[in-house]
Amino acid sequence: MSRQFISHDKMTAWLDALSRDRAVLVPMDDCGTVTFRPYVPGRKALLDKMPVRAPKEGVFPQTETLLRFKYDKDPENLDRVKVQVREVLPTQKAVVVGGRPCGARGQLILDRVYNCDTMRDPYYVSRRENTLYVTVACTSAESTCFCHSVGSGPDDSEGSDVLLVPVEGGYVAEGVTERGRELLAEGDFESASQARMDEAGAVISRTRSQLGEAHDYSDAPRKLLERFDDMDFWNEQAAICISCGACTYLCPTCYCFNMTDEQSGLQGKRLRTWDTCMSFEFTLEGSGHNPRPTKAHRLRNRMGHKFAYYPELHEGLIACCGCGRCIKSCPVSLDIRAVVQAAQNHNAVPEEAEEKADA
Ligand code: SF4
Ligand code: SF4
C-alpha cells in the first residue's frame, strides 16, 4: 500500500473536514494537562504530545447514559405506577485523532470482553462501529514505555484505521483499514516521496532503539499464580500504594464499571461509570464482607488480571499495552513492571525443601 503525506497546515483543514459531520476527539491542553477533548475548529490539537488519558474514552466513555426512565402514576389510583424505559444507544459517528499505537492496541483488549461470541455490549459495540482511530506513531520513547515487551511497538498499526508518522513538515500516512483509507480521501494528501518514507522509517528505528531490550513476560502468568497465596510478597509489593485508583482510570485496557441510577422527581437515567479495582469499595459486599480487604489483595488482583488470568482466557494476550501511564501517573511511583519482575524472579521453594525446613 503506497503511503501518503499531509503537511501541518493541511492537517488542520483535514480535522476541520472530519469534524463537519462527526465528533472528533483530539489531544488538547486542558489546564496544563494534555487530554482528549472534542475538536473545535481554530483550537490547536496537540498531536505531538502523548495524552495523559487513554483513547479508549472514544468508545468507552468515563460516564455514559445507558437508559432513561420515567414513572407514570395513575392519579385515580396512586398504587398503580407504570415505568417507561427508553434505551439510549449511541449513534454519533466519531474519530479519535492523536492517540498512540499502544492506546489503539488497548482497544483490542476491550473488544475481547465487550464484543465477542459470548458477550455483545450494545453500547460499546455501537460506539466501536461508529468510531475510527487515527493514530500518531511515537517519535521518542519515555523511560516508562514498554510496548515492545507486550507485542507492540512505536508504529504498531493494530487497532488503528490510519497511522501517521511525524516527519519534517507533516506526516506520512498509511490507511490501515478500508474505512481509514476513506478518511484519507477527505484530506488534501499527496503521494509520499521515497525520501519522506525513508525519514519515517528512520524515526521509527530511532524510537525502537530508545526502547532498549524487550522484557520476556512468557512465564509471568505461571509465576504470578505461584505467588497467589504468598501474602508477604503482595504486602511488600503494595506497601507504598495509597489506593488512589489513578493507575486504573488512566489505563487503556482497564474496563471495569459501576452502574448507578440518578433520579429527579418522577424521571431519571441509568449511568455507567468507570470503576477501579484498586478501591476498597469495589468488592465490598452488602453483608459487609470484602473478599479483597487489603491493598495487597487488590494489587494482586490487578497484576493477576492483566498478566495471568486474561492471558489464560485469551491465547496468551497480556491485558496491558505497555503505555506506562500507570507508572508515570502513580503518585508513589509504583511500577507494575517491577511487581511482575519480582514475581518472575521469585524462586518457588520446592515442596521437599519446605517439608525439611518444617521438620
Ligand atoms: S496509582 Fe499507584 S498509589 Fe494509586 S492505586 Fe495505583 S498503584 Fe496505588
Ligand atoms: S497497566 Fe499500565 S502500562 Fe499497562 S496498559 Fe494499563 S496503564 Fe498502560
User: pLDDT tens-digit profile of 247-291?
Assistant: 999 999 999 999 999 999 999 999 999 999 999 999 999 999 999
The mean pLDDT of the chain is: 94
* Count of positions (residues) in the chain: 359
332 lines ligand 1 (CB under 6 A): yes
Instruction: Enumerate residue ranges in the chain where pLDDT < 70.
Output: 1, 348-359
pLDDT the model gives residue 268: 98
pLDDT the model gives residue 349: 57
pLDDT the model gives residue 100: 97
Query: Which residue has the least CA distance to atom 6 on ligand 1?
Result: 247
pLDDT the model gives residue 348: 63
67 lines ligand 1 (CB under 6 A): no
Q: Are 32 and 101 in contact (CB under 8 A)?
A: no
Question: Ligand 2 centre and the CA of 247: distance in Å?
Answer: 7
Element (DSSP H or E) covering residue 236: helix 231-238
Question: Ligand 1 centre and the CA of 351: distance in Å?
Answer: 34
Q: Which of 109, 321, 327 gets mutated to test ligand 2 (max ligand atoms within 8 A of its CB)?
A: 321
Domain ranges of the chain: 4-62+91-211, 220-358
**Cell numbers at residue 114, please?**
465487550
Q: Tell me the C-alpha distance between 187 and 276, whole Å.
A: 40
**Cell numbers at residue 211, please?**
526502547
